Amino acid sequence: MKISVIGTGYVGLVVGTCLAESGNNVVCVDIDEEKIKMLRKGKSPIFEPGLEELLRSNIHEKRITFTTSIENAVKQNEVIFLALPTPPNEDGSADLKHVLTVAKQIGKFLNGYKVIVTKSTVPVGTADKIRMTIERETTYEFDVVSNPEFLKEGAAVSDFMKPDRVVLGLRSVRARKIMEDLYEPFVRTGNPIIVMDERSSEITKYAANSLLATKITFMNEVANLCEKVGANVDSIRRGIGSDVRIGQHFLFSGIGYGGSCFPKDITALMHTSAHAGYDFKILKAVDEVNTKQKSILVDKLLKYFRKKIKGKHIAVWGLSFKPNTDDVREAPSLVIIKQLLKRGAVIRVHDPVAMKEIRKQIGDSVKYFENNYDALKGTEALLILTEWNEFRRPDFERMKQLMKRNIIFDGRNIYDPVMVREKGFIYISIGRGEIGL
């Protein structure tokens, strides 16, 4: 099939590359000329495991090309994916300006039947808005399909190649046939293509993210309670996760969820609900608890040092909002670092891939180290903010020699508290029986 993907970011690039890998001819479009130049050279602008290799082989096989021209991409191809940003407006609603601007351009350049597929996470009713926007510009036939994306950064390629499910919101038999053909290679193992109306499909994505964010937040509240009563959230996680109705996933407590999706999708769904006259109470609580949770490690640190952290050197391991990605959008690390800097601490950071991205946001207000041990030199505490695998089995003796004081504040519960304390560290984590800290 001949496919265009408009918006070549975390989603668009993965979607485009994976569709090329399954034999389609794909044109990826972006307004960012630098990005397009990099991509033409086979370089991925984002860190995503396995993506660059796949990108290079598909460029080599001439199945994927990159352009800044929407006109060509619309005229040449029959299926047009929109993978554009939908950032939050000030009132929390999703900003549709990128999506609707592109819809208008598509309408102008339409030269025959096309299927326009929304991959972006968009509020209920957006398919109708896209349809109306295009209709105003053209007399050609077209269909609009809502096809929310469920990939996870850090595992995006395998998630797209082997999706748990594909959701299609549509109303046309012609579009359904095209979309089912397109996805057929990805659901050979029997995972379902679930077809529904566009409105339900649009809400499905928000409901999925909101439920996952709620699960994380629920466990964070259990952890906070554990600290008050001297219980261990790890044991509780094991105790409840083996119940199939609950499941093992998304039960790890920590310093709150971040990323480009959960925070904005929760506020967007709250906004949609309020607009529809419905008070979605759980979402409000989730958002509020999560905002507080991002500061919990700073609260512990301030309590430990009796609020005196001015001039203290503090190391941070992990900046991305989760492992295996360089994405720092809404990462807890940003909140934590800013709070510590405000109180006069000197921050020394390391992340395997996200330092370039965080530097764009906080510049040289912190010191950057390519090696995680170098970040520890002369520090009075280490904060672990992302559970990268390489932090899981460190050389504790080396750490002890480098640090001025041997204190670890672990926001991801990656160590066994007994083991770390035996190694001679003061160890403070989340919800594991440390009453008062």
The nearer residue to ligand NAD, 123 or 394, going by C-beta atoms, is 123
Determine the Cα–Cα distance for residues 130 and 170; give it in Å rounded to an integer.
Answer: 13
Among 3, 20, 29, 144, binds ligand NAD (CB under 6 A): 29
Determine the Cα–Cα distance for residues 176 and 171; give it in Å rounded to an integer.
Answer: 8
Q: Is the dihedral of CA 8, 208, 123, 88 positive or negative?
A: negative
The nearer residue to ligand NAD, 118 or 214, going by C-beta atoms, is 118
Q: Which of 18, 28, 226, 261 is catalytic?
A: 261
From 248, 383, 276, 245, select the one nearest 319 (Cα to Cα): 383
The nearer residue to ligand NAD, 98 or 367, going by C-beta atoms, is 98
What's the min distance (Å) between Cβ of 213 and ligand NAD? 13
What's the min distance (Å) between Cβ of 431 and ligand NAD? 27
Interaction pattern, residues 229-268, with ligand NAD; x per rule: CB under 6 A = -------------------------------xx-------
The nearer residue to ligand NAD, 224 or 273, going by C-beta atoms, is 273
Q: Which of residues 119-158 bind ligand NAD (CB under 6 A)?
A: 119-121, 149, 151, 153
The pair of three-digit structure tokens given for residue 206, joined into one six-digit string: 């928000």
Q: What is the dihedral of CA 261, 267, 270, 274, to 10 degrees?
A: -140
Determine the Cα–Cα distance for residues 392 and 350; give it in Å rounded to an integer.
Answer: 14
Interaction pattern, residues 341-370, with ligand NAD; x per rule: CB under 6 A = ------------------------------
Q: How far, in Å, are 173, 293, 303, 384, 435 from residue 306 at the CA level?
A: 66, 20, 5, 20, 16
Among 1, 9, 240, 373, binds ligand NAD (CB under 6 A): 9
Q: Is residue 259 within 8 Å of residue 321, measured between CB atoms?
A: yes
Among 3, 5, 11, 219, binds ligand NAD (CB under 6 A): 11
Stretch near ligand NAD under the rule CB under 6 A, chosen from 27-35, 72-80, 182-190, 248-256: 27-35
Q: Is 226 assigned a catalytic role?
A: no
The nearer residue to ligand NAD, 33 or 279, going by C-beta atoms, is 33
3-class secondary-structure state, position 124: coil
The nearer residue to ligand NAD, 98 or 377, going by C-beta atoms, is 98
Q: Is residue 380 within 8 Å of residue 406, measured between CB atoms?
A: no
What's the min distance (Å) between Cβ of 426 and ligand NAD? 36
- Count of residues interacting with ligand NAD (CB under 6 A): 27
The nearer residue to ligand NAD, 44 or 120, going by C-beta atoms, is 120
3-state secondary structure string, 343-393? CCCEEEEECCCCHHHHHHHHCCCCEECCCCCHHHCCCCEEEECCCCHHHCC
Residues 6 or more apart whose CB falls under 8 angstroms from that of 297 comprise 255, 336, 383, 385, 409, 411, 430
Interaction pattern, residues 62-101, with ligand NAD; x per rule: CB under 6 A = ---------------------xxxx-----------x--x
Stretch near ligand NAD under the rule CB under 6 A, chosen from 116-124, 334-342, 349-357, 421-429: 116-124
8-state DSSP, 230: T
Determine the Cα–Cα distance for residues 119 and 232; give it in Å rounded to an integer.
Answer: 40
Active site residues: 261
Binding site for ligand NAD (CB under 6 A): 6-12, 29-32, 35, 83-86, 98, 101-102, 119-121, 149, 151, 153, 260-261
